[in-house]
Amino acid sequence: DGGITQSPKYLFRKEGQNVTLSCEQNLNHDAMYWYRQDPGQGLRLIYYSQIVNDFQKGDIAEGYSVSREKKESFPLTVTSAQKNPTAFYLCASGLAGPKNIQYFGAGTRLSVL
């Protein structure tokens, strides 16, 4: 978990509500990632960012939005358009380039009320 902080640890969303998950890193990494984990499905990429003020959609971006205004921060918003948001959300960061390790935060568990 190291230098990547995710908050909150648990989050509850009401119908029609947008919620924002925080991810902060102090590792001076250029690249940051958001994954969704569902039981038995592994990790699926939602969004990634290789540099400040730039980000790309992953495999399951619909219903989610992100921003990357600072190198250290990559918040994820789960919008009301995401009809099945209950999952474990993991943020990761790493040096740019495919051979580099991605380091993960401790995760945020999102549930729907």
Question: What is the spatial distance between Cα 79 and Cα 28, in angstroms, rounded to a whole number?
Answer: 29
Q: Using CB under 8 A as the criterion, which residues of the chain lie in contact with another protein when the complex forms?
A: 1, 4, 6, 33, 40-45, 48, 50, 56, 58, 88, 90, 92, 98-99, 101-107, 109
CA-to-CA distance for 25 and 28, rounded, in angstroms?
7
Our CB check for another protein shows the closer of 12 and 17 to be: 12
> Nearest distance from residue 113's CB to another protein, in Å?
20
Q: Which residue has the tokens 């994820």?
A: 76
As given in the structure block, the two tokens for residue 39 are 């039981």
How far apart are CB 52 and another protein at their closest, in Å?
16
Nearest distance, CB of residue 16 and another protein, angstroms: 28
Say how far apart CA 42 and CA 36 lie, in whole Å: 8
